[in-house]
Amino acid sequence: MWLGSRPVANALFTSVVAFLTYACVFSYRKTFTVATFDGIRIGVFSYQTLLIISQVVGYMISKFYGIVFISALRRTGRWMTVALMIGISWACLLLFAVTPDVFGLLWFFINGFMLGFLWGVVFSYVEGRRSTDLAGSVMAVSFIFAGGFSRSVGKWLMIEHGVSEKWMPFMTGAVFALPLAIFLFLMEQIPPPDAADEQARARRVPMQPADRKAFMKTLGTGIMLVTFTYIFLTILRDIRDNYMANMWREFGYGDNYAIFTRTETITSVVVLGMMGTLVFVKRNMLAFRLVHGAIIAGFLTGGVASALFLSGRLSGAAWMQLTGLGLYMAYIPFNSIFFERLIASFRMAANVGFLMYITDAFGYLGSVSLMIVKETMRFNITWSEYYAWGVLSFSLIGFATMAVSLGWFGRKHRTLFPGG
């Protein structure tokens, strides 16, 4: 294909198509969270929280299974995998609309299980390239932008067109179905990494059990540190993502469906600008250290903003914007650059999917656990207060663990590559 001989065009094409593809995928996942389902409870739980927990449990299980499934993924037939999983997840949204409330828990569990594999499949199209920092960052910010945009579409359908809360997730999926099919076709046109890419970033291969064992034997301690950090990031990200509508309503923006798109677009642009610049850093270990620095800066941003909010010196709207920025400064690198540059630095037989699904699996386990605690303990506290205290506490932990991670990986690299 003509793109193969034009590196800049290839990088831009890959970035834009990956962004648009995953943005469409995201519309099948989170739009239901703008519907609060007030007055519906099952046992001691609110219906909204049960739906969120059911979906996240499905997502979590897919991440544990994906450690093997995604790490061994081959290039052939990937589009069919995406189409099948999206089809099943969308069908679950239809079944949610037409069956009694209690069955919604099953449909969202299956929906989450199917969608949990798609990040790894889509990212496999962009990893292992000199342009992966840019393409991966663009793709990763898609779930900031898409999270806001798809929620705005869902809220718009309910407010302007009278779509019910139960039908809204399926109808939002219908809006994105044709664009997703087009972008999936375009994904298949992306050429594979060339020889220069493999020289710069190490060749990416489907991993066998022996490859996974060798990788963890060499770098397992560092991966454990990173996973511990990522658990807290996932908890914070999921609380904000799932209960964003509740928090905006607390601040008086309940019927403002544009607020989701506006705030998340600002965050997307800032984070993309920061992460995309790493494409110009050729030395992999230097870039890996800089990514650590960006994550630490993100924790500091969120922690300071939350301290100011809790002390009454920052408005709720400004706090939402700043904590979102800090959170995604820390979260996005893990989903785009961190593992890409780690593999390139240590040049082991591996792929990003393997590492991403290890951290994701335990991250979602932590997220589910905290949501259950919040509901069962029945704290007399709003979601914004709960989230603010969580950001403040976890930012301190994240700052410390990433500082230790930076030192550990640096020492390990000097041991394995004493001349590098």
Please, what sign has the CA dihedral across residues 394, 396, 399, 403?
Answer: negative
Backbone φ and ψ of 391, nearest 5°: -60, -45
Catalogue the E-assigned strands of 17-129.
Answer: 41-42, 45-46
Alpha helices in 277-379 (DSSP H): 284-310, 316-334, 338-346, 352-377
Distance (Å, whole) CA 68 – CA 311: 46
pLDDT value at position 268? Answer: 79
User: Token digits for 136?
Assistant: 């991966």
Q: What are the domain boundaries of the chain?
A: 7-416
Task: Write out the chain's pLDDT in tens, 420 residues.
Answer: 445 457 778 888 998 999 999 889 988 988 888 887 877 888 777 888 889 889 989 999 999 999 999 998 887 888 999 999 999 999 999 999 999 999 999 999 999 999 999 999 999 999 999 888 888 888 877 777 777 788 888 888 988 888 998 999 999 999 999 999 999 999 999 988 888 888 989 888 899 999 999 999 999 999 999 999 999 998 888 888 777 878 888 888 877 767 777 787 788 788 888 887 887 898 999 999 999 999 999 999 999 999 999 999 999 889 999 998 999 899 888 887 899 999 999 998 899 999 999 999 999 898 888 777 766 766 667 778 888 998 999 999 999 999 999 999 999 999 999 876
Say whether 46 sits in a helix, a strand or coil: strand
| Residue environment code for 210-237, b if the CB has 16+ CB neighbours within 10 A, otherwise e | ebbeebeeebeebbbbbbbbbbbbbbbb
| Single-letter amino acid, residue 358 | I
Q: 7-416 belongs to which homologous superfamily?
A: MFS general substrate transporter like domains (1.20.1250.20)
Task: Give CA–CA dist 146/31, Å, rounded.
Answer: 10
Structural tokens at position 262? 């506006």
Is pTM beyond 0.85 here?
no
Residue with token string 């199917």: 114
